[in-house]
Amino acid sequence: MAKIIVVTSGKGGVGKTTSAAAIATGLALRGNKTVVIDFDVGLRNLDLIMGCERRVVYDLVNVIQGEAGLNQALIRDKRVDNLHILPASQTRDKDALTSEGVEKVLESLSEDFDYILCDSPAGIERGAQLAMYFADEAVVVTNPEVSSVRDSDRILGLLASKTRRAERNQDPIKEHLLITRYNPARVDHGDMLNLEDIREILAIDLIGLIPESEAVLRASNQGIPVTHDANSDAGQAYTDTVSRLLGEDVPLRFHEYQKKSLLSRVFGGGRR
Amino acid sequence: MSLNVDRASTAFTFKGGMLPMTVMELTSADPERIREQLAGKLSQSPAFFQHTPVVLSVEKLDEPHLALERICAVCRAHKLLPVAVRGGADPVKQSAWALGLGWFPPQEIKPRNLESVAAPAPETPAESVQPAGGGRIHRGTVRSGQQLTAPDGDLVVIGAVNAGAEVLAAGNVHVYGALRGRALAGIHGDAQAGIFCRELHAELLSVAGNYKRLEDIDPRLLGSAVQVRLSDDQLAIAGLT
């Protein structure tokens, strides 16, 4: 049985797709058979971030509507063997997703994979609700700003009430907080919410903290998940996040503001 | 309010009570249209439709004769329990009685908008219990978009109430954590009710309809433990020491 993990946030543009791609890549690099599904029907992006946009033939909606088999729609990642992508449709809308259809797809994927990542669309409408409905765990992606925190809070409320686990009174979904675009210097200045404030408001466990990094933008535009960029701070932070998802105890990094010393300025060491 | 008689020898006592009641304001007398709208609502918020008692208000309808029996059947099929009819002409009153329903005269004053109490509420968090005495205890954070109501007594939240969340009680509201959302005590008019919290950042505080917005609250009180009470029709916020 696969573990189903939804990557969600409520607010758009906080790094859901980047995180879903990076975490899926990290899980696969650690030897887990992983598939990442794009639930953002109509605004598909995951294939771009994963660098497989030229190989999309069939998509999630085709599978749900019986127009293609699951194996026809799954795209094998070029870089990591046991990683697959199930893209979203760009021409349909989210009403094309049905609860029964999604359940069926997840059930058949469960037989073959260790981890199923569901990349949720923004918002709290049908697409987002279907992405989270069958999840066992949730990674809630939050930026250090008030509107993102409030939207994440809203999503946490939905995770506790509008999911299969909640409706069947099973153990609740395991909720993890992933803070992205964290800039310790700006937090220090008071421009951004600090880590402790976010944790206090959302009151869930922190699974990772991704520093704001040029590596993320570069990775998106090149279509190579940032986890592959092992020299970058963001790449390392996602690798740490994956280790914690797998139950390992890894100390937090990149959350403290360090003034650059003269030496590091000269040699450009440390952060990139 | 009970009659002064020997309790042991009586089978019952009459008591006056103000129960929260959902009024279904009909704007159409067509059972088919009502059925369609109910079906839509039922799929949106199934939790609301659990043999919920409703009063059918026909005040906005101009028709002397109503297919009351069919409307009631539609309601029951969607797990709403019509208990009475309000308004309408004499034939409506007669058919209500014939169906075993009560009849209320039309309301003279415009009803206040009690939507936050009576509407099919948004998500209610699952981790709450209703102890004896009509109160309610909730453990854990009440999150943005959630609404928690104790319609008959006190509400106790052991955790925070986040911005965008709303907690309501007929009696007192106690928040053993940070109060960042809206808190309304005495929602049925109990002026003795109060709000208590460990850390005040509330968007809105209200006791028996008298309210203060975050903007109206003395900034020096923000972040501290306070009690909120009604004194001379004004909300008084004082430190809890």
Q: Could you confirm whether domain A3-267 is CATH 3.20.20.140? A: no
Cβ burial B109-144 (10 Å sphere, 16+ → b, else e): eeeeeeeebbeebebbbeebeeeeeebbbbebbbbb
Greater confidence, B104 or B173?
A: B173
Dump pLDDT digits (tens) for A68-79: 999 999 999 999
Question: Rounded to an integer, what is the distance from CA A2 to the centroid of its chain?
Answer: 17
d(CA A123, CA B17): 43
Q: How close is the nearest chain B Cα to the Cα of A157, in Å?
A: 6
The token duo for B153 is 């007594």
Q: Does pLDDT of B103 surpass 80?
A: yes
Closest CA to A75 of A41, A48, A101: A48
CA distance B237 to chain A (A): 23
Give residues with Cβ within 8 angstroms of A224, minimum separation 6.
A51, A79
Number of C-alpha atoms within 13 angstroms, CB side, residue A79? 17
> pLDDT by residue (tens digit) across A111-138?
999 999 999 999 999 999 999 999 999 9
Contacts of B165 in chain A (CB under 8 A): 157
The answer to whether residue B111 scores a pLDDT higher than 50 is no
Superfamily of domain B22-104: ACT domain (3.30.70.260)
For residue B110, the model assigns a pLDDT of 42
Residue-wise pLDDT tens digits, B170-227: 999 999 999 999 999 999 999 999 999 999 999 999 999 999 999 999 999 999 999 9
Would you state the structure tokens that stand for residue B196, as one six-digit string?
Answer: 């208590």
Q: Which amino acid would we find at residue B37? A: Q
- Give the range among A22-36, A143-157, A202-216, B62-76 with minimum mean pLDDT: B62-76
Dihedral angle at the C-alpha atoms of A226, A184, A197, A10, nearest 10 degrees?
Answer: -30
Residue in B234, B169, B223 with CA at minimum distance from that of residue B195? B169
Measured between CA atoms, the residue of chain A closest to residue B159 is: A203
The number of residues making up chain B comes to 241
Rounded Cα gap, residues B73 and B102, in angstroms: 16
Place of tokens 């959902």: B22
Q: What are the boundaries of each domain within chain B?
A: 22-104, 127-239
Closest CA to B41 of B22, B58, B59: B22
pLDDT for the residue B33: 87
At A247 the three-state DSSP class reads coil
Per-residue pLDDT tens digits for B5-16: 555 578 887 776
* Residue indicated by tokens 């989270």: A132
A16 carries a ligand binding annotation: yes
- Using the beta-carbon criterion (under 8 Å), do A154 and B126 form an inter-chain contact? no
Residue contact A161–B141, C-beta within 8 A: no
The pLDDT assigned to B169 comes to 96
pLDDT, position B131: 63
Report the candidate in A137, A119, A115, A140 with the shortest Cα–Cα distance to residue A128. Answer: A119
**pLDDT score of A268:** 57
B161 DSSP 8-state letter: B
* A31 marked among binding-site residues: no
pTM: 0.71
A163 is in an annotated binding site: no
- Cβ atoms within 10 Å, residue B5: 9
Do the strands B195-200 and B226-231 form a parallel or antiparallel pair, or are they unpaired?
Answer: antiparallel
Residues 6+ apart with CB under 8 A from B192: B186, B230
Question: In chain B, which residue ranges form alpha helices assigned H by DSSP?
Answer: 31-44, 68-77, 90-98, 115-118
* Other Cβ atoms within 10 Å of B215 Cβ, number: 7
Q: Which residues contact B114 (CB under 8 A, 6 or more apart)?
A: none
Whether A41 has a pLDDT exceeding 70, the answer reads yes
Mean pLDDT of chain A: 93
- Domain B127-239 in CATH 2.160.20.70? The answer is yes
CA B40 to chain centroid: 22
Q: Is the pLDDT of residue B3 over 60?
A: no
C-alpha span between A69 and B66 (Å, rounded):
54
- Predicted confidence band of residue A227 (pLDDT cuts 50, 70, 90): very high
Contacts of A151 in chain B (CB under 8 A): 144
What is the ipTM for the molecules in this complex? 0.78
- Going by their DSSP bridges, the two strands B182-185 and B166-169 should be labelled as parallel
Looking at residue A197, its pLDDT comes to 95
Using the predicted structure, report yes or no on whether residue B124 has a pLDDT greater than 70. no
